[in-house]
């Protein structure tokens, strides 16, 4: 490769890492980006692409991942850098693969601008590189694939998309260059082994990583969904829940008992779908009278602004207290509402019994609209007429085990198959010493529920750091371009401060 500083993508063995050499030109778009809504992926990727020094784009740009972030970055680079040539590498058979299977979820690019826009711009004025609209996730994927075809037509040979089978990771050579390991097991979608790729800039847009959505029986000390080194899962009884973007009919179920484990965005979205029969939290808010919507938005802007500021600052203790205060404030306001409009009617249409269990006292850090929509449903289900939705909330608990209740069913690592049968749920009541650590070991006693059998079990315990990550890639000093909402004063206005781009370092704003 010489000393040009170009990245090289080859089939090779993993080299050693020497942190004494300068870091190469590599952008990590996904690993540290939390939260990770579609809207925020779009804005962050486009912001980063426009902030990259122009000389970085005068040549070959390789993007790993043809999801939302990868396609947005590629389209922005092609638009702003006339000499750039972009190669997008995707391990799945098509672009935007995850969303293409999720007809039971909707994507609203602006629903997380609640109670106020957090990007300091009118949502209606945003011009996305490939503009999404509110629709079902599978329709969203079709729209973006058509946009990709138009990009090919517009830029011709400057854009190439390769669909490979397996991306194993990225690691720098000791001379400061990057090698990304691609394993192409035969021909996939007309693409065969083509040898090496060289790149002046390597962009990792691999998503948020593998989901923790399963429980291994007999390994009480393991993180849910993860085995410790040397442990083996029992193939005879291994429950796994459906992944977030996998199709399910959760919003259509009636008369079922459902258990949801987790307190973050994914768990709350599924709780809302199971209880209210809607596809997103925005539908719950829309069911309220307009004057109630305005009341909640105006009353919560100050608390949400404080929450966002602390989240951006990284002060963990202060942020933890802000989470507790914000949820308490939301609950107080909900109890003051005299009229819930269509929401009560929506809840009466469902006959499900839904239990949500999470390790903390309050729900985890999440988007404000998901938190308040879940609290609204919890509050109103207590007053629902007989036959309507019933809900309960288990605090300071952690999922310990999921067992087949017999009937000839054996769990064999198939979320779709397991969802057809009832299972028994075992949870641990966390001890006081375990509550601050949350996921570090069980440290609790098994808690018995009055009824532990459920028709559907949803596990949303978060994600690993990055898809297909390996030990070597963790040692890279990643270039971390990031966009944070960091208001500069106490007024209720939203200004964002961008993190400066420098090779090899993650630099924050104060």
Mean pLDDT of 89-93: 84
Confidence grade of residue 409 (pLDDT, cut at 50, 70, 90)? low
* Mean pLDDT across 354-359: 92
With a pLDDT cut of 90, the percent of the chain lying above it is 25
- Tokens 């390994």 belong to 219
User: What pLDDT is recorded for position 122?
Assistant: 52
Distance CA 204, CA 310 (A): 28
Least confident of 115-129, 199-213, 320-334, 388-402: 115-129
Which position has the token pair 């288990």?
A: 394
489 pLDDT band, cuts 50/70/90, is very low
> What does the pLDDT average to over 263-278?
93
Query: DSSP letters of 139-201?
Result: HHHHHHHHHHHHHHHHHGGGEEEEE-SEEEEEEE-TTS-EEEEEE--S-BTTB-----EEESE
The pairing of beta strand 106-107 with beta strand 238-240: unpaired
In a domain, 508, yes or no: no
**Cis ω for the linkage preceding 194 (within 30 of 0):** no
Please report whether residue 2 resides in a domain. Answer: no
Q: Do 305 and 429 fall within a single domain? A: yes
Is 136 within a domain?
yes
Higher pLDDT, 1 or 350: 350
Supply the pLDDT for residue 404: 78
Tally of CB atoms within 10 A around 508: 14
Quick check: is 249 in a domain?
yes
Strongest mean pLDDT among 22-36, 43-57, 190-204, 331-345: 331-345
Residues 316 and 422 reside in one and the same domain: yes
Same domain, 165 and 254: no
Res. 315 pLDDT band, cuts 50 70 90: low
Q: Distance from first CA to last CA of the chain, Å, rounded?
A: 38
291 or 218: which carries more pLDDT confidence? 291
* pLDDT at residue 478, as a whole number: 32
Is residue 224, in this structure, part of any structural domain at all?
no
Tokens linked to 361: 């006292």
Q: Is residue 112 part of a domain?
A: yes
Residue 38 has pLDDT above 50, yes or no: yes
- Predicted TM-score (pTM) of the model is 0.78
Tell me: pLDDT of 183 over 50: no
Examine the domain organization and report whether 473 and 444 are in the same domain. no
Among 204-213, 301-310, 343-352, the least confident range = 204-213
- 467/450: higher pLDDT: 450
pLDDT(23) > 80: no
53: exposed, middle or buried (C-beta count within 10 Å: 0-12, 13-18, 19+)? exposed
Distance of CA 294 to the CA centre of its chain: 28
**pLDDT of the residue at 353:** 92
Same domain, 292 and 356: yes
CA distance 456 to 425: 10
**Pair (173, 276) in one structural domain:** no
Instruction: Examine the pLDDT at 475 and tell me if it is beyond 60.
Output: no
277 and 372 within one domain: yes
pLDDT of residue 255: 87
Residue environment code for 227-258, b if the CB has 16+ CB neighbours within 10 A, otherwise e: eeeeeebeeebbbbbbbbbbbbebbebeebbb
Residue 419 is part of which domain span?
236-459
Where b means 16+ CB within 10 Å and e means fewer, 431-455 reads eeebeeebeeebbbeebebeebebb
pLDDT computed for residue 372 by the predictor: 97
Bridge partners, residue 88, by sequence: 63, 161
- Same-domain status, 203 and 242: no
What is the reported pLDDT for 376?
Answer: 96
- The whole-number pLDDT of residue 257 equals 93
In terms of domains, do 162 and 253 share one?
Answer: no
Q: Which two tokens stand for residue 136?
A: 């079902």
Pair (200, 283) in one structural domain: no
Greatest mean pLDDT among 11-15, 48-52, 333-337 lies in 333-337
Are residues 165 and 190 located together in one domain of the fold? yes
Region 478-488: mean pLDDT is 33
Residue 219 domain-assigned? Answer: no
Q: What integer best gives the mean pLDDT of the chain?
A: 71
Assess whether pLDDT exceeds 90 at residue 496: no
Counting other chains too, the contacts that 188-194 makes at CB distance below 8 Å and 24 or more residues apart are 188/93, 188/163, 188/164, 189/93, 189/94, 189/163, 191/162, 191/163, 191/164, 193/11, 194/162
Given a cut of 50, whether residue 170 has pLDDT beyond it is no
In angstroms, the CA 351 to CA 137 distance is: 26
Q: Which residues contact 457 (CB under 8 A, 6 or more apart)?
A: 239, 241, 258, 259, 260, 261, 402, 418, 423, 425
Give the model's pLDDT for residue 394. 93
Residue 289 has a pLDDT of: 95
When pLDDT is cut at 50, 70 and 90, the band that residue 379 belongs to is very high
Of 338-352, 422-436, 491-505, give the range with the top mean pLDDT: 338-352
Please report, for the domain that includes residue 180, its CATH number: 3.50.50.60
> Domains in the chain: how many in total?
2
pLDDT band at residue 440 under the 50/70/90 scheme: very low
Is the domain of 66 the same as that of 130?
A: yes
Within-domain flag for 353: yes
Using one digit for the tens of pLDDT, what is the confidence trace for 108-126?
877 788 887 765 555 555 5
Which one has a higher pLDDT value, 447 or 482? Answer: 447
């Amino acid at each position: 490769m010489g000393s040009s500083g170009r990245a090289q993508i080859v089939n090779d063995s993993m080299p050693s890492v020497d942190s004494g050499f300068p870091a190469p030109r590599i952008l990590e778009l996904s690993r540290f980006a939390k939260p990770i809504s579609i809207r925020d992926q779009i804005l962050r990727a486009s912001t980063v692409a426009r902030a990259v020094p122009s000389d970085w784009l005068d040549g070959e740009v390789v993007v790993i991942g043809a999801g939302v972030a990868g396609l947005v970055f590629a389209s922005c680079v092609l638009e702003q850098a006339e000499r750039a040539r972009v190669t997008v590498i995707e391990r799945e058979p098509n672009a935007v693969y995850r969303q293409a299977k999720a007809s039971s979820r909707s994507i609203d690019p602006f629903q997380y601008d609640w109670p106020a826009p957090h990007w300091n711009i009118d949502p209606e004025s945003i011009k996305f590189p490939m503009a999404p609209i509110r629709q079902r996730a599978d329709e969203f994927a079709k729209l973006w694939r058509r946009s990709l075809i138009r990009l090919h037509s517009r830029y011709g040979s400057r854009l190439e998309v390769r669909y490979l089978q397996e991306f194993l990771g990225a690691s720098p050579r000791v001379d400061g260059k990057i090698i990304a390991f691609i394993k192409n097991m035969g021909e996939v979608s007309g693409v065969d082994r083509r040898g090496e790729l060289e790149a002046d800039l390597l962009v990792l847009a691999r998503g948020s990583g593998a989901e923790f959505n399963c429980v291994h029986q007999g390994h009480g000390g393991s993180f849910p969904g993860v085995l410790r080194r040397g442990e083996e899962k029992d193939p005879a009884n291994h429950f796994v829940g459906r992944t977030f973007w996998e199709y399910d009919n959760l919003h259509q179920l009636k008369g079922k008992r459902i258990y949801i484990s987790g307190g973050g965005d994914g768990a709350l979205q599924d709780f809302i779908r199971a209880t209210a029969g809607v596809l997103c939290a925005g539908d719950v808010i829309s069911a309220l009278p307009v004057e109630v919507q305005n009341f909640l938005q105006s009353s919560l802007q100050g608390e949400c602004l404080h929450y966002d500021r602390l989240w951006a600052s990284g002060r963990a203790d202060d942020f933890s207290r802000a989470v507790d205060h914000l949820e308490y404030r939301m609950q107080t306001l909900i109890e003051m509402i005299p009229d819930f409009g269509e929401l009560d009617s929506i809840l009466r249409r469902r006959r499900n019994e839904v239990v949500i269990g999470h390790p903390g006292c309050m729900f985890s850090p999440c988007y404000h609209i998901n938190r308040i929509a879940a609290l609204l449903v919890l509050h109103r289900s207590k007053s629902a007429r007989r036959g309507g939705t019933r809900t309960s909330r288990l605090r300071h608990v952690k999922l310990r085990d999921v067992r087949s209740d017999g009937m000839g069913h054996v769990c064999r690592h198939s979320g779709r198959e397991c969802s057809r049968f009832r299972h028994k749920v075992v949870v641990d009541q966390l001890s006081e010493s375990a509550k601050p650590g949350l996921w570090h070991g069980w440290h609790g006693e098994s808690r018995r529920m009055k009824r532990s059998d459920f028709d559907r079990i949803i596990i949303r315990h978060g994600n690993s750091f990055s898809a297909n990550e390996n030990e070597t890639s963790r040692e890279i000093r990643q270039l971390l371009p990031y966009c944070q909402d960091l208001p500069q004063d106490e007024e209720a206005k939203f200004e964002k401060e961008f993190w400066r781009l420098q090779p090899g370092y993650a630099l924050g704003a104060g």
